Amino acid sequence: MKIAQFQDIHRAYKKGVDVLAGVSFGVGPGEIVALLGRNGAGKTTLIRIAMGMMEAQTGSVRVFGLDPRKDAVEVKRRVGYVSEDQILPPFLKVSQVVELHRGLFPTWDDDLARRLGARFAIDPEAKIKTLSKGQARQVALLCAVAHRPELLILDEPAGGLDPAARREFLETSIRLLNESGTSILFSSHYMSDVERMADRVVMLEGGRVLIDSALDDLRESYSLALITAGPEVTRERLLGLAGCLAVRQRAGSLHAIFQLDPEEAREVLDSALGIGDMRTTSIALEEMFIELLGGHGVEATGGPP
Amino acid sequence: MQLHIVPGGELPIYRQIMHQITDAIAGGRLSRGDKLPSQRDLAEQLVISPLTVKKAYDELEREGVIETRRGRGTFIDAAAEAVDPARQRRRLRGDVRRLLIQAHLAGVPLADVRRLLSEVAKEIQAERRGV
């Protein structure tokens, strides 16, 4: 059974403007799934729907097979949640915030909370408002994981953190996953974190799932071809080739993404168009994000030659 | 043995792990019977998904390079000779190809590349003797 399952989720904020226009995917046991997309792609909306904080207009979401709206208490007890814009009560002490959460979760693990507290080295007597951004996020993480959730949902958890704090956050998440078999659903704009952590990547665009793939497959079966544009070599012709997913024009050259490995892409280009001047490479997630989601259609070809 | 992974590098992380382990066997830094870190420990050490480590170990086990003994851990099962030399050569071929393309683009003739190769090989030998 899937830990979380989204089925054909639709959600519009304004009538006729769909943020989510039929999104389906699942998170399996022990799996780490990264939710990617540009700002406004609907990642946070989707996460809020999973948390029962918002409702889908049509479609269904199940977490542990339960409905996050109808079985809100049960679902919340088994989920840990941290978001970038989460606000902890500023005038409470760290110890009071921890105590507050402790009371909410029957499965709270005092020993784990103590270990994390010691590891983060945050003064329990400090008021939340005196903490740095990184420390406040660590308190939020402690509160989100000390009940050993079966699913950890992180909405841009690393936003605004320095690289050391980010790494520490990831380490804590991995350790929790190891100890408790927790599944993780997270959204992030840090592609190096995603490359490091994710088993599977779900890329949202235009309210739909553009890509839902194991990260390793994405890395091994996609490639980027850089080609010099010419009268015979146009965006349209490339888009007509087998395996070509997207083409961007960048001043005089064309960037084409193929769902083929680099050697295969080279062969397709060579045999179809007889292109000699090109480079095909495997593609890191960051480039794939930019090529697939970074603006559509033909870009201005102006600028210095 | 220390593993070093590069997220977003040319190869997926599970392949980086596989290659570093087989390279270490071929180079004599790991030998039959040596114990590998547990999947969990390695995931925490490298700060990567435990399923990625599992995938690397599963593939290596399928290839007969490592062996998991229930309750005891994971061990190197292949002798250095057993690490398929043809396969190692195929992998190196890609690196050589990249090197030669770089040389070609930089206008460095093949004879100079050959000379460079033997110079660097000597350097490495000297370093290894020094250790």
Contact: A196, B55; criterion CB under 8 Å: no
- For the entire predicted model, the pTM comes to 0.85
B77 lies in the same domain as B27: yes
Domain boundaries, chain A: 4-216, 222-293
Confidence of residue A299 (pLDDT cuts 50, 70, 90): very low
B66 lies in the same domain as B94: no
Element (H, E) at B66: strand B66-69
**B56 lies within 8 A of chain A by CB:** no
Domain A222-293 falls under CATH 3.30.70:
yes
Residue A296: per-residue pLDDT? 52
Residue A157 to chain B, least CA–CA distance (Å):
16
Model confidence pLDDT, tens digit, residues A64-82: 999 999 999 999 999 999 9
B19 lies in the same domain as B71: yes
The pLDDT of B40-53, averaged and rounded, is: 94
Model confidence pLDDT, tens digit, residues A156-206: 988 888 888 888 889 988 988 888 889 999 999 999 999 999 999 999 998
B69 lies in the same domain as B45: yes
B69 lies in the same domain as B98: no
Q: Nearest CB to B7: which of A31, A177, A192?
A: A192
B65 lies in the same domain as B90: no
Confidence of residue A279 (pLDDT cuts 50, 70, 90): confident
Classified by CATH at the fold level, domain A4-216 comes out as: Rossmann fold (3.40.50)
A interface mutation test: which of B13, B49, B93 has the most A CBs within 10 A?
Answer: B49
The pLDDT of A252-262, averaged and rounded, is: 90
B35 lies in the same domain as B74: yes
B77 lies in the same domain as B37: yes
Shared fold status for A4-216 and A222-293: no
B89 lies in the same domain as B78: no
Model confidence pLDDT, tens digit, residues A24-53: 999 999 999 999 999 989 999 999 999 999
Q: B44 to chain A: which residues are within 8 Å by CB?
A: 171, 174-175, 178
Query: Which residues span the domain enclosing B124?
Result: 85-130
Percentage above 70 pLDDT, chain A = 96
Q: A177 to chain B: which residues are within 8 Å by CB?
A: 49-50
* Chain A, nearest residue to B101 by Cα: A279
Whether B95 is covered by a domain: the verdict is yes
